[in-house]
């Protein structure tokens, strides 16, 4: 084979975050194909990868826009040319609301939507929008079982939607309703069986469907109902009430989601070098500063029987290696247990195909969590 001069995978300095491009493209296509004939459209969540290059690829594959969690994430998306951004989260801080309205003012070509779940926040959003002379689209968040933010009753949603409709600079766009408690759990295969998920989604559809009917009877149009995660995309995405699916982890996946029996592939790994070897033990150069562990230790790709020994330390990954399968200076890959928080520790993805680095994509929103 002709030498191309491109860097080979085993020449990448470690620790480094990799994307297997074949697996990533497979995931993007699998989701796009599933969503193609659905009444809901895909609006993938950016917090799972924080890289606008991936967002553009999702939009090219049919996604209508992008979801994010924080104002700073929205800024990086809009600066990268994404024209339809949902911040599926409340922004309570007054200073940030002016920054949001300023962003809308500087980017009139972009539709910006934000969630709200109380009257005071809606008043503050309207003041900020009016001061900058912009329009902000607002979803009222309904708690569909996560017990995080959101209101509950049809009357509460009606009162907030009416307030949005009557507020200068705001447009009531619909409902934010995310069922994270049905989508992701550390005991995924046992706690979130297909039956549990289907039953949960059915209940949440009844709740949100009733709220939508109630609002419409009172003359308020609900354009969007937005929610859905990787673990429920094929259930929530099959109902006709939701108009947007916010799944994000499907693009790169992680080892916890991998246990859910979804058809997506683990496309993201951390490349690491064995920096110390002694009988029964190998130590890598990838510790807590490049891999989060709040959802468990990473899996070792290609060695499902090997495990991290006791703890990851800041810069070291001790691996129990009873049969001495690993060698000094060998490069191995971790599959992170939680992709969303692990990407936040890295500046770039090395994108690899056929053992060659094909591209380097910046993780632009790394640390942009305000
Ligand atoms: C509001 C919201 N929507 C969508 C998602 C995406 O979920 P997933 O990581 O399952 O794709 C999340 C994840 O936490 C979320 O908080």
Pocket flag, ligand 1, residue 177 (CB < 6 Å): no
Query: What does the pLDDT look like over 204-235, one tens digit per residue?
Result: 999 999 999 999 999 999 999 999 999 999 99
Pocket flag, ligand 1, residue 45 (CB < 6 Å): yes
Separation in Å, CA 323 to CA 276, 278, 286, 327, 335: 15, 11, 21, 11, 21
* Beta-strand relationship, 307-308 and 317-321: antiparallel
| Confidence (pLDDT) at 191 | 86
Pocket flag, ligand 1, residue 68 (CB < 6 Å): no
- As a whole number of Å, the CA-based R_g of the chain is 22
Pocket flag, ligand 1, residue 49 (CB < 6 Å): no
Cα of 323 vs its chain's centroid, Å: 38
Pocket flag, ligand 1, residue 226 (CB < 6 Å): no
Name the residue of 28, 46, 180 to mutate for ligand 1: max ligand atoms within 8 A of Cβ: 180
140's enclosing H/E stretch is strand 136-141
Give the mean pLDDT of 275-284: 98
Q: Which of 234, 233, 268, 257 is nearest to 247 (CA)?
A: 233
Q: Is the pLDDT of residue 3 over 60?
A: no
Pocket flag, ligand 1, residue 339 (CB < 6 Å): no
Pocket flag, ligand 1, residue 232 (CB < 6 Å): no
Q: Is the pLDDT of residue 76 over 70?
A: yes
* Beta-strand relationship, 136-141 and 170-176: parallel
* Chain mean pLDDT for the chain: 96
Q: Reply yes or no: is the peptide bond before residue 15 cis, omega within 30 of 0.
A: yes
Pocket flag, ligand 1, residue 236 (CB < 6 Å): no
d(CA 142, CA 124): 20
Ligand 1 atom showing the smallest separation from residue 340 Cα:
9
Separation in Å, CA 166 to CA 55, 158, 202: 34, 12, 32
Q: Report the sign of the C-alpha dihedral through residues 57, 62, 67, 71, in that order.
A: positive
State percent of the chain over pLDDT 90: 96
Neighbours of 280 (CB within 10 A): 11
Asked if 294 contacts 338 with a C-beta cutoff of 8 angstroms, the reply is: yes
Pocket flag, ligand 1, residue 255 (CB < 6 Å): no
Architecture of domain 38-252 in CATH? Alpha-Beta Barrel (3.20)
Cα of 312 vs its chain's centroid, Å: 25
Nearest CA, atom 9, ligand 1: 249
Name the residue of 246, 254, 343 to mutate for ligand 1: max ligand atoms within 8 A of Cβ: 246
CA-angle at 175, arms to 30 and 169, nearest 5°: 115
Query: What does the pLDDT look like over 119-148, one tens digit per residue?
Result: 999 999 999 999 999 999 999 999 999 999
| Confidence (pLDDT) at 188 | 80
| Confidence (pLDDT) at 186 | 84
State percent of the chain over pLDDT 70: 99
Question: What is the domain partition of the chain in residue ranges?
Answer: 1-23+254-370, 38-252
Q: How far away, in angstroms, is 88 Cα from ligand 1 center?
A: 9
Give the mean pLDDT of 305-319: 97
Q: How far away, in angstroms, is 188 Cα from ligand 1 center?
A: 15
Q: What share of the chain is helix, strand, coil (3-state, %, to 5)?
A: 35, 25, 40
CA-angle at 215, arms to 196 and 43, nearest 5°: 55
Pocket flag, ligand 1, residue 150 (CB < 6 Å): no
Give the mean pLDDT of 162-182: 98
Residues contacting 297, CB < 8 A, separation 6+: 307, 308, 312, 337
Q: How far away, in angstroms, is 180 Cα from ligand 1 center?
A: 6
d(CA 98, CA 81): 21
Report domain 1-23+254-370's class: mainly beta
Give the mean pLDDT of 172-189: 92
Q: How many CA atoms lie within 13 A of 173 on its CB side?
A: 24
| φ, ψ of residue 318 in degrees (nearest 5) | -75, 130
Asked if 266 contacts 255 with a C-beta cutoff of 8 angstroms, the reply is: yes
Nearest CA, atom 12, ligand 1: 229
Residues contacting 93, CB < 8 A, separation 6+: none
Pocket flag, ligand 1, residue 183 (CB < 6 Å): yes
**Distance linking the first and last C-alpha atoms of the chain:** 48
Pocket flag, ligand 1, residue 184 (CB < 6 Å): yes
Q: How far away, in angstroms, is 185 Cα from ligand 1 center?
A: 12
d(CA 227, CA 247): 8
Nearest CA, atom 5, ligand 1: 229
Q: Report the sign of the C-alpha dihedral through residues 194, 196, 202, 207, in that order.
A: negative
Pocket flag, ligand 1, residue 122 (CB < 6 Å): no
Asked if 350 contacts 16 with a C-beta cutoff of 8 angstroms, the reply is: yes
Task: Out of 22-26, 183-187, 362-366, pick the least confident.
Answer: 183-187
Cα of 35 vs its chain's centroid, Å: 17
Ligand 1 atom showing the smallest separation from residue 176 Cα:
1
Ligand 1 atom showing the smallest separation from residue 183 Cα:
10
Pocket flag, ligand 1, residue 176 (CB < 6 Å): no
Residue 68, helix vs strand vs coil: strand
Alpha helices in 237-338 (DSSP H): 255-258
């Amino acid at each position: 084979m002709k030498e191309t001069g491109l860097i080979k995978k085993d020449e990448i300095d470690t620790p480094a975050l990799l994307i297997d491009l074949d697996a990533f493209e497979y995931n993007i296509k699998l989701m796009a194909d599933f969503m193609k004939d659905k009444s809901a459209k895909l609006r993938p969540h950016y917090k799972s990868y924080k890289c606008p290059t991936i967002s553009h690829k999702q939009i090219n594959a049919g996604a209508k826009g992008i979801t994010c969690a924080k104002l700073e994430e929205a800024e990086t998306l809009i600066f990268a040319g994404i024209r339809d951004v949902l911040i599926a989260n409340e922004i309570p801080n007054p200073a940030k609301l002016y920054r949001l309205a300023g962003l809308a003012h500087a980017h009139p070509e972009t539709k910006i939507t934000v969630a709200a779940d109380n009257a005071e926040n809606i008043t503050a959003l309207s003041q900020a929008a009016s001061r900058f002379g912009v329009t902000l689209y607002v979803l009222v968040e309904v708690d569909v079982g996560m017990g995080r933010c959101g209101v509950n009753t049809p009357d509460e949603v009606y009162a907030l939607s009416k307030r949005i409709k009557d507020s200068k600079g705001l447009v009531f766009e619909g409902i934010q309703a995310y069922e994270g408690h049905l989508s992701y759990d550390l005991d995924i295969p046992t706690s979130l069986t297909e039956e549990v998920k289907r039953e949960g989604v059915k209940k949440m559809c009844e709740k949100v469907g009733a709220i939508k009917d109630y609002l419409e009877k009172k003359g308020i149009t609900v354009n969007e109902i937005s929610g859905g995660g990787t673990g429920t995309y094929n259930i929530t995405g099959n109902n006709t009430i939701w108009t947007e699916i916010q799944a994000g982890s499907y693009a790169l996946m992680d080892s916890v989601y991998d246990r859910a029996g979804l058809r997506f592939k683990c496309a993201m790994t951390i490349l690491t070098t064995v920096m110390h070897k002694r009988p029964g033990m190998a130590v890598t150069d990838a510790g807590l500063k490049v891999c989060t562990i709040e959802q468990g230790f990473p899996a070792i790709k290609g060695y499902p029987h090997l495990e991290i020994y006791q703890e990851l330390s800041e810069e070291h990954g001790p691996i129990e290696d009873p049969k001495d399968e690993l060698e000094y200076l060998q490069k191995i890959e971790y599959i992170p247990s939680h992709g969303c928080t692990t990407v936040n520790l890295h500046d770039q993805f090395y994108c690899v195909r056929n053992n060659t680095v094909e591209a380097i994509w910046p993780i632009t929103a790394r640390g942009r969590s305000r």
